[in-house]
Chains A and B, each alone.
Chain A
Amino acid sequence: MNPIVVFDAVTRIFQVRGSTEAGTAPGARIVQALDRVSFAVREGEILGLAGESGSGKSTIAELMAALQTPTNGRVLFNGEDLAGLRGAGRREFHRRVQMIFQDPYESINPQHLIRWWVEEPLEIHGIGARADRLERVRRALAQAELRPPDAFLNRYPHQLSGGQRQRVAIARAIVLEPSLLVADEPVSMLDVSVRAGILRLLRRLRDELDLTILYISHDLSTVRYIADRVAILYQGKLVEIGGTDAVMRTPLHPYTQALMSAVPTLVVAGPRRPRVLLPAGNGSAATTPSCRFAARCPHAMNVCRQREPLLVELAPGHAVACFLHSEAAVPQPGGRA
């Protein structure tokens, strides 16, 4: 499958004034949100992106939607560097890449009717005449399973349930017939009983509209349910990537293993899940090259504190950045995984 998006050694650095979390002294501080992250999103797939808060998930989402620019490295969309996009090309990119956010209560303006809300992107992009636009709005609502669409056109957001609002947000995203959907925690604010419906809808839209989806979540359960492949981020580093089944069944990176073992399980009888409690994480970035997980890793070796492991493909399509698994993780001059 062709890659639709390629992250090529993308680094993103933020300058932060002081810090509320760690209690450091005020003054400019540098946060490396992403450190030389390389991966591809394949056309037609649902790629899950999982990691804890602060791991860089949302930075990847924003880079992918060109809401941010990389400090170093390149983000390619259909082979084209986003940094070079101008004018009509840039507008076309912003039509073809759409985002869905976590909170359907915040992302929809309560003052507008649903029809206005879903039609607005068409207006912005100058697509269609008035009557044609309304037809497109109807179609998008129906595709988002808000049926019959006419029953929703003239309603206000507050008249809808959380699940329905998220469907409106999805309709607004697909009305432009995009090729890539970036969904940042789209179900984490929703009730459990309606989550599956939204996840299934996303899968169906992928199939029917030839969409590619980047699905971002801290919740491995929903990633497992929806994603074809999954990428695991830890402190701005991609530590493991592969088929969802392979990564979740046989996680190779100790961090992925820890994440998987920490998910509460619905075991009613029999032995309970053993708790593998890692030492608490420290948010500070390493000053010397090393594996960022080394301080918390139950298997850390000397090499882990002296060098930084590279992402190496261990099985077809399953890559991990960990010295436990491969000598090849040792960086070679000029080499790249």
Chain B
Amino acid sequence: MLLQIEDLVVSYRTRAGLVRAVDGVSLSIAAGQSVGLVGESGCGKTTVTRALLRILPPNGFIERGRVLLEGVDLTRLSASEMRRVRWRRIAMVPQSAMNALNPVLRVGDQLVETIRIHEHVDAAAAWRRAEDLFERVGIERRRLYDYPHQFSGGMRQRVAIAMAIALRPALLIADEPTTALDVLVQDRILNLLEQLRADLGLAFLYITHDVPVVAELCDAVAVMYAGKIVEFGPLAQVFGSPSHPYTMGLLRASPKPAAEQSELISIPGAPPNLVAPPRGCRFAERCPFADDRCHLAEPPLEAVAPGHLAACHFAADAPRMRQTMATGDAWARAFAGTP
């Protein structure tokens, strides 16, 4: 395994109390594999990436768990040891490249700087590397002399990708890298990411709320809800035979523009407060299938098929739940009359 996250718990100290944003997440990524981490705002997906890069804000800390990258536990590394891992072994493509680029430096100089901080090469050699990188991500090399503001949103994202692959990392974390982009630009960036993965053998951890994008890019998918992974497995299984009601809901909430439009569902309610999370299943309050057991006991993440895990007391009953979903809006029926 390239990356193995084991029982990771990450908390933030807030005025309201301790918030466990990530609560016992385990996830592994093989070399060259592309794993999607899907969930909605506040589910903890970005905190997972910050924890494994060790770039948590000052009030955040890793309470428990291990993050093994090529066998080395990143949570135990010193700050300077961690600096040698970042960019060289794990790199990140952020949502907005503007935040990752220095506005007053030419992008070529920034690329050269990134390379030379980590590797002993002279400036000329680093500049040649930068030219190659630009070519690889589809930007003309003369644009190395430009400043970040001179690039369009899509081009800036390409610059960020060039930066991320500059030191030939094994794992690329992409946190909503295309959400701010128009659909035609997004399509080109997705194409570039797929191409880079094939050419460089990169592994991907792809963070997004956009289910169709994951369906196009990933081999495996983890669905996160309220700090926990509720379903994990190969893409075809998780999206083809979803076994957690939240996954089923997410899939039914995404409209399909080209296909026959089935009625969309919306999931009533909101995720629980993580300062005082509920005792049982965290999704129970919003779940149309929940019964007493769900409110009392937390369901463990267990195999429903080889390699396919779900955290639901009724996971064995998934075909029936899927059927109920398919024949209409289970939520509308279950929660008739509530807002």
Nearest chain A CB to B287 CB, angstrom units: 12
A53 contacts partner chain B, Cβ-Cβ < 8 Å: yes
Judge whether B258 and A262 touch: CB under 8 Å.
no
Judge whether B240 and A278 touch: CB under 8 Å.
no
A288 contacts partner chain B, Cβ-Cβ < 8 Å: no
B64 contacts partner chain A, Cβ-Cβ < 8 Å: no
Residues of A contacting B119 with CB < 8 Å?
A: none
B2 contacts partner chain A, Cβ-Cβ < 8 Å: no
For the side of the interface on A, what is the size category? 35 or more
Chain B interface, DSSP helix/strand/loop, else mixed = helix
Judge whether A147 and B339 touch: CB under 8 Å.
yes
A81 contacts partner chain B, Cβ-Cβ < 8 Å: no
Knowing A224-B255, A263-B257, the reply to whether A53 touches B183 (Cβ < 8 A) is no
Nearest chain B CB to A276 CB, angstrom units: 8
Judge whether B182 and A264 touch: CB under 8 Å.
no
Nearest chain B CB to A326 CB, angstrom units: 25
Residues of B contacting A277 with CB < 8 Å?
A: 187-188, 191
Knowing A268-B215, A277-B191, the reply to whether A195 touches B266 (Cβ < 8 A) is yes
Interface residues of B in 216-264 (CB under 8 A from A): 216, 235-236, 239-240, 249-251, 253-259, 261, 264
The segment from A28-36, A214-222, A312-320 found at the interface with B is A214-222
Cα A200 to Cα B265 with chains together (Å):
9
Cα A266 to Cα B216 with chains together (Å):
7
The segment from A88-96, A110-118, A125-133, A186-194 found at the interface with B is A186-194
Nearest chain A CB to B2 CB, angstrom units: 24
A107 contacts partner chain B, Cβ-Cβ < 8 Å: no
Q: What is the total of A-B residue contacts with beta carbons within 8 Å? A: 131
Interface residues of A in 183-220 (CB under 8 A from B): 191-200, 218-220
Nearest chain B CB to A158 CB, angstrom units: 12
Residues of B contacting A273 with CB < 8 Å?
A: 216
B154 contacts partner chain A, Cβ-Cβ < 8 Å: yes
Chain A interface, DSSP helix/strand/loop, else mixed = loop
Residues of A contacting B190 with CB < 8 Å?
A: 264, 275
* Interface residue from B149, B184, B236, B270 paired with A278 (Cβ < 8 Å): B184
Cα A278 to Cα B184 with chains together (Å):
8
B150 contacts partner chain A, Cβ-Cβ < 8 Å: yes
For the side of the interface on B, what is the size category? 35 or more
Judge whether A199 and B264 touch: CB under 8 Å.
yes
Knowing A192-B253, A193-B266, A258-B184, the reply to whether A265 touches B215 (Cβ < 8 A) is yes
Nearest chain B CB to A183 CB, angstrom units: 16
Interface residues of A in 12-45 (CB under 8 A from B): 20-23
What residue of chain A has the Cβ atom nearest to residue B183's Cβ?
A262
Nearest chain A CB to B243 CB, angstrom units: 14
B31 contacts partner chain A, Cβ-Cβ < 8 Å: no
What residue of chain B has the Cβ atom nearest to residue A52's Cβ?
B182
Nearest chain B CB to A255 CB, angstrom units: 9
Nearest chain B CB to A202 CB, angstrom units: 12
Residues of A contacting B249 with CB < 8 Å?
A: 193
Nearest chain B CB to A156 CB, angstrom units: 16
Judge whether A225 and B264 touch: CB under 8 Å.
yes
Cα A264 to Cα B40 with chains together (Å):
18
Residues of B contacting A272 with CB < 8 Å?
A: 216
Cα A163 to Cα B183 with chains together (Å):
24
Judge whether A264 and B216 touch: CB under 8 Å.
yes
B267 contacts partner chain A, Cβ-Cβ < 8 Å: yes
Knowing A146-B339, A194-B267, A218-B183, the reply to whether A225 touches B261 (Cβ < 8 A) is yes
Judge whether A264 and B213 touch: CB under 8 Å.
yes
B152 contacts partner chain A, Cβ-Cβ < 8 Å: yes
B212 contacts partner chain A, Cβ-Cβ < 8 Å: yes
Knowing A145-B339, A264-B215, the reply to whether A193 touches B187 (Cβ < 8 A) is no
B20 contacts partner chain A, Cβ-Cβ < 8 Å: no
Knowing A192-B254, A194-B267, A266-B251, the reply to whether A259 touches B184 (Cβ < 8 A) is yes
Nearest chain B CB to A332 CB, angstrom units: 32
Nearest chain A CB to B107 CB, angstrom units: 12
* Interface residue from A147, A192, A224 paired with B209 (Cβ < 8 Å): A192
A280 contacts partner chain B, Cβ-Cβ < 8 Å: yes
Residues of A contacting B213 with CB < 8 Å?
A: 264
Nearest chain B CB to A150 CB, angstrom units: 13
A267 contacts partner chain B, Cβ-Cβ < 8 Å: yes
Residues of A contacting B154 with CB < 8 Å?
A: 280
Interface residues of A in 248-290 (CB under 8 A from B): 248-249, 258-260, 262-269, 272-273, 275, 277-278, 280-281, 283
Cα A198 to Cα B265 with chains together (Å):
11
Query: A residues near B, CB below 8 A?
Result: 20-23, 52-53, 145-147, 161-163, 191-200, 218-225, 248-249, 258-260, 262-269, 272-273, 275, 277-278, 280-281, 283
Known: A146-B339, A224-B257, A275-B191. 13 other contacts (CB 8 A): A21-B152, A196-B255, A198-B266, A222-B255, A249-B258, A259-B184, A260-B258, A263-B257, A266-B251, A266-B254, A275-B187, A277-B188, A277-B191
A–B pairs, 18, beta carbons within 8 Å: A22-B150, A23-B146, A52-B182, A52-B183, A191-B209, A192-B253, A193-B267, A194-B266, A196-B253, A199-B264, A218-B182, A223-B257, A248-B257, A258-B184, A263-B183, A266-B211, A269-B236, A273-B216
Q: Which 4 A-B pairs have the closest CB atoms?
A: A197-B266, A196-B264, A23-B150, A264-B212
